A and B are shown apart, each in its own frame.
Chain A
């Protein structure tokens, strides 16, 4: 398909473990975004990339969260020492450019920390 893909679709882990969530954006989209959606809430911004660099990481809740996009395409969101409060759906989106407006979302990864 030509849309944004995310893997895994579901991830269950234990408190204290390390997890990686992957996002594959639409081909040719230079901007990539990570959002987190807790139950009953709207998505909340975490970080966005323009190309390979993190243009704005102001939404990352603390230093346990880190994201990379080494080749300007696929991105990985990394969470160290997971906590139960990290349980949420992690959404990835991409757009042609950061200023182009419409962001296309992937299906999300549901993370559950036991």
Chain B
């Protein structure tokens, strides 16, 4: 079975600074995918970034990058140059057996 652990219930960051949201995972599958989703107060889950377990390079998507450390089973999300609109819940998820298993999330607040 897969498991995601997000140990930061809440994080604060100043506008324009970078922030790292932690995620560790557990799986026995040799091949898997890791995802980060953003959930604003409106409730919709917005896909941010994906990392495949066999990808040699860390994934990047604009201001989002994924710090993938396979040996440590961690997949931290780095948001650079934070904006006020980044304030939201952030969920890490692992794809196993075609279904996503999510962590409990981290609430990010960007201060002006």
Contact = CB atoms under 8 A, between A and B. Distances in A.
A binds B: yes
Interface of A: 31, 33, 35, 40-45, 48, 50, 55-56, 59, 89, 91, 93, 98-99, 101-108, 110
Contact of A44 (B46, B98, B102): B102
Contacts of A104: 47
Contacts of A50: 98
A45 B45 contact: no
Interface string B72-84: 0000000000000
Nearest 9 A-B pairs (CB), nearest first?
A42-B102, A105-B45, A98-B98, A45-B99, A107-B44, A42-B91, A43-B102, A101-B33, A108-B43
A103 to B, nearest CB: 6
B35 interface: yes
22 contacts: A33-B99, A35-B100, A40-B104, A41-B105, A42-B102, A43-B91, A43-B102, A44-B102, A45-B99, A50-B98, A59-B99, A89-B43, A93-B45, A98-B98, A99-B98, A101-B52, A102-B35, A102-B50, A105-B37, A105-B44, A108-B44, A110-B43
Nearest to B37: A105
B106 to A, nearest CB: 10
Given A42-B103, A102-B35, A102-B47, A107 B98 contact: no
Given A93-B100, A101-B35, 9 more contacts: A42-B91, A42-B104, A45-B100, A104-B47, A105-B37, A105-B46, A105-B47, A108-B43, A110-B43
A92 B68 CA distance: 28
Contacts of A35: 100
Contacts of B19: none
B41 interface: no
Interface string B31-49: 0010101000011111100
A103 B44 contact: no
A48 to B, nearest CB: 6
Contacts of A31: 98
B88 interface: no
A107 B43 CA distance: 6
